[in-house]
Protein backbone atom coordinates (compact mmCIF):
# COMPACT_ATOMS: atom_id res chain seq x y z
CA UNK A 1 0.00 0.00 0.00
CA UNK A 2 1.39 3.36 -1.01
CA UNK A 3 -0.08 6.71 0.03
CA UNK A 4 0.47 9.83 -2.05
CA UNK A 5 0.76 13.15 -0.24
CA UNK A 6 -0.26 16.44 -1.86
CA UNK A 7 0.48 19.92 -0.48
CA UNK A 8 -2.50 22.16 -1.23
CA UNK A 9 -2.08 25.92 -1.50
CA UNK A 10 0.64 27.76 0.40
CA UNK A 11 2.01 25.47 3.11
CA UNK A 12 5.45 24.75 4.57
CA UNK A 13 7.04 21.55 3.31
CA UNK A 14 7.61 20.25 6.85
CA UNK A 15 3.89 19.53 7.08
CA UNK A 16 3.97 17.19 4.11
CA UNK A 17 7.06 15.61 5.72
CA UNK A 18 5.13 15.17 8.98
CA UNK A 19 2.15 13.59 7.18
CA UNK A 20 4.45 11.07 5.49
CA UNK A 21 6.21 10.32 8.78
CA UNK A 22 2.94 9.64 10.61
CA UNK A 23 1.56 7.45 7.80
CA UNK A 24 4.69 5.30 7.83
CA UNK A 25 4.72 5.06 11.63
CA UNK A 26 1.01 4.37 12.21
CA UNK A 27 0.11 2.26 9.18
CA UNK A 28 3.48 1.01 7.98
CA UNK A 29 2.64 2.09 4.42
CA UNK A 30 5.13 3.64 2.04
CA UNK A 31 4.52 7.21 0.94
CA UNK A 32 5.14 9.30 -2.13
CA UNK A 33 5.14 13.07 -2.53
CA UNK A 34 2.85 13.97 -5.41
CA UNK A 35 3.04 17.32 -7.24
CA UNK A 36 1.53 20.13 -5.15
CA UNK A 37 -1.84 21.65 -5.88
CA UNK A 38 -0.69 25.26 -5.73
CA UNK A 39 -3.86 26.98 -6.85
CA UNK A 40 -6.89 26.24 -4.76
CA UNK A 41 -9.17 29.13 -5.81
CA UNK A 42 -11.47 26.65 -7.57
CA UNK A 43 -12.66 25.50 -4.13
CA UNK A 44 -13.11 28.95 -2.61
CA UNK A 45 -16.59 29.84 -1.43
CA UNK A 46 -16.42 33.63 -1.37
CA UNK A 47 -19.50 34.07 0.77
CA UNK A 48 -18.12 31.83 3.53
CA UNK A 49 -14.46 32.80 2.90
CA UNK A 50 -13.69 29.08 3.23
CA UNK A 51 -12.76 26.28 0.89
CA UNK A 52 -15.04 23.41 -0.11
CA UNK A 53 -13.46 20.16 1.05
CA UNK A 54 -15.68 18.20 -1.35
CA UNK A 55 -14.34 20.14 -4.34
CA UNK A 56 -10.79 19.60 -3.08
CA UNK A 57 -11.42 15.84 -2.75
CA UNK A 58 -12.77 15.77 -6.29
CA UNK A 59 -9.64 17.49 -7.57
CA UNK A 60 -7.33 15.19 -5.58
CA UNK A 61 -9.08 12.19 -7.11
CA UNK A 62 -7.78 13.25 -10.53
CA UNK A 63 -4.16 13.45 -9.32
CA UNK A 64 -3.25 10.30 -7.45
CA UNK A 65 -4.75 6.94 -8.38
CA UNK A 66 -3.86 4.57 -9.92
CA UNK A 67 -0.19 5.34 -9.16
CA UNK A 68 -0.91 5.26 -5.42
CA UNK A 69 -3.68 3.52 -3.46
CA UNK A 70 -4.56 6.52 -1.31
CA UNK A 71 -4.13 10.28 -1.67
CA UNK A 72 -3.97 12.63 1.31
CA UNK A 73 -4.01 16.37 0.77
CA UNK A 74 -2.79 18.75 3.45
CA UNK A 75 -3.67 22.42 3.50
CA UNK A 76 -3.66 25.57 5.60
CA UNK A 77 -6.98 26.56 4.01
CA UNK A 78 -10.03 26.59 6.28
CA UNK A 79 -12.26 23.89 4.80
CA UNK A 80 -15.97 23.14 5.16
CA UNK A 81 -18.85 20.96 4.10
CA UNK A 82 -22.22 22.67 3.63
CA UNK A 83 -23.89 21.28 6.77
CA UNK A 84 -21.06 22.28 9.14
CA UNK A 85 -19.27 25.50 10.08
CA UNK A 86 -15.94 23.83 9.32
CA UNK A 87 -14.24 20.44 9.23
CA UNK A 88 -10.76 19.39 10.39
CA UNK A 89 -10.67 16.96 7.48
CA UNK A 90 -12.80 14.95 5.09
CA UNK A 91 -12.43 11.61 3.36
CA UNK A 92 -14.29 9.32 1.01
CA UNK A 93 -15.75 6.51 3.13
CA UNK A 94 -14.18 3.34 1.78
CA UNK A 95 -12.57 5.40 -0.98
CA UNK A 96 -9.09 6.58 -1.81
CA UNK A 97 -9.02 10.29 -1.07
CA UNK A 98 -8.70 12.39 2.08
CA UNK A 99 -7.90 15.99 2.92
CA UNK A 100 -6.88 17.54 6.22
CA UNK A 101 -6.56 21.18 7.25
CA UNK A 102 -4.25 22.79 9.77
CA UNK A 103 -6.30 25.99 9.94
CA UNK A 104 -8.35 25.21 13.04
CA UNK A 105 -5.75 23.04 14.73
CA UNK A 106 -3.49 25.97 15.57
CA UNK A 107 -3.70 27.52 19.03
CA UNK A 108 -3.18 30.90 17.33
CA UNK A 109 -6.53 30.50 15.58
CA UNK A 110 -8.15 30.84 19.03
CA UNK A 111 -5.92 33.70 20.18
CA UNK A 112 -3.62 31.39 22.19
CA UNK A 113 0.19 31.08 22.07
CA UNK A 114 1.42 28.66 19.41
CA UNK A 115 2.25 25.08 20.46
CA UNK A 116 4.13 23.13 17.78
CA UNK A 117 3.94 19.79 19.59
CA UNK A 118 0.19 20.05 20.17
CA UNK A 119 -0.36 21.08 16.57
CA UNK A 120 1.54 18.05 15.30
CA UNK A 121 -0.43 15.71 17.60
CA UNK A 122 -3.75 17.20 16.46
CA UNK A 123 -2.71 16.91 12.83
CA UNK A 124 -1.77 13.27 13.38
CA UNK A 125 -5.18 12.50 14.94
CA UNK A 126 -7.05 14.12 12.04
CA UNK A 127 -4.83 12.35 9.51
CA UNK A 128 -5.25 8.90 11.07
CA UNK A 129 -9.01 9.48 11.46
CA UNK A 130 -9.52 10.48 7.82
CA UNK A 131 -7.36 7.65 6.49
CA UNK A 132 -9.41 5.33 8.72
CA UNK A 133 -12.52 6.45 6.84
CA UNK A 134 -10.89 5.46 3.54
CA UNK A 135 -10.58 1.94 4.97
CA UNK A 136 -14.33 1.89 5.52
CA UNK A 137 -14.28 2.76 9.22
CA UNK A 138 -17.23 4.79 10.47
CA UNK A 139 -17.28 6.77 13.71
CA UNK A 140 -16.39 4.76 16.80
CA UNK A 141 -18.18 4.78 20.16
CA UNK A 142 -14.99 4.13 22.17
CA UNK A 143 -14.31 7.61 23.57
CA UNK A 144 -10.53 7.30 23.34
CA UNK A 145 -10.42 5.84 19.81
CA UNK A 146 -9.10 8.07 17.05
CA UNK A 147 -12.23 7.23 15.02
CA UNK A 148 -14.52 9.07 17.46
CA UNK A 149 -16.24 11.98 15.74
CA UNK A 150 -14.63 15.30 16.67
CA UNK A 151 -16.41 18.43 15.59
CA UNK A 152 -14.45 20.66 17.98
CA UNK A 153 -10.99 20.83 19.51
CA UNK A 154 -12.07 19.61 22.97
CA UNK A 155 -13.27 16.38 21.39
CA UNK A 156 -10.13 16.12 19.27
CA UNK A 157 -7.83 16.71 22.25
CA UNK A 158 -9.74 14.23 24.42
CA UNK A 159 -9.12 11.21 22.19
CA UNK A 160 -5.92 9.26 21.53
CA UNK A 161 -3.97 9.21 18.29
CA UNK A 162 -4.52 5.45 17.82
CA UNK A 163 -7.28 3.03 16.81
CA UNK A 164 -9.13 1.00 19.44
CA UNK A 165 -8.85 -2.79 19.16
CA UNK A 166 -12.12 -3.08 17.29
CA UNK A 167 -11.24 -0.45 14.65
CA UNK A 168 -7.76 -1.94 14.27
CA UNK A 169 -9.35 -5.31 13.62
CA UNK A 170 -11.60 -3.84 10.93
CA UNK A 171 -8.62 -2.19 9.22
CA UNK A 172 -6.63 -5.41 9.26
CA UNK A 173 -9.64 -7.21 7.78
CA UNK A 174 -9.99 -4.54 5.08
CA UNK A 175 -6.29 -4.72 4.21
CA UNK A 176 -6.45 -8.51 4.18
CA UNK A 177 -9.30 -8.36 1.68
CA UNK A 178 -7.38 -5.91 -0.49
CA UNK A 179 -4.44 -8.33 -0.58
CA UNK A 180 -6.68 -11.03 -2.01
CA UNK A 181 -8.20 -8.86 -4.73
ZN1 LIG B 1 -14.95 11.24 10.76
ZN1 LIG C 1 -12.53 2.54 17.45
Q: According to the model, what pLDDT value does residue 88 have?
A: 98
Q: According to the model, what pLDDT value does residue 175 have?
A: 85
Indicate the burial class of 124 (C-beta count within 10 angstroms; 0-12, 13-18, 19 or more). buried
Residue 163: give the domain boundaries: 2-103+111-180
Distance 19 CA to ligand 1 centre (A): 18
Distance 133 CA to ligand 1 centre (A): 7
Indicate the burial class of 64 (C-beta count within 10 angstroms; 0-12, 13-18, 19 or more). buried
Distance 85 CA to ligand 2 centre (A): 25
Distances (CA, A) of 172 to 96, 139, 169: 16, 17, 5
Along the chain (181 residues), what's the average pLDDT of each consecutive run of 10 residues?
95 97 95 95 96 96 83 97 96 96 96 96 98 96 96 96 96 76 41
Active site annotation includes 32: no
Domain of 118, CATH number, reads 3.40.390.10
Closest ligand by atom to 127 CA: 1
pTM of the model: 0.95
Closest ligand by atom to 140 CA: 2
Our count of domains for the chain comes to 1
Q: According to the model, what pLDDT value does residue 53 have?
A: 97
Q: Which of 20, 59, 76, 130 is catalytic?
A: 130
Distance 139 CA to ligand 2 centre (A): 7
Q: According to the model, what pLDDT value does residue 178 have?
A: 60
Amino acid sequence: MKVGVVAIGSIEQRWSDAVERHIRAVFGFSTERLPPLDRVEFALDERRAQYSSSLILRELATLGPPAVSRVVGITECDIFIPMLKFVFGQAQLGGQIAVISLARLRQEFYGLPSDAELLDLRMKKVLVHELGHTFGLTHCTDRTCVMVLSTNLDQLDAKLDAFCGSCLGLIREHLGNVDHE
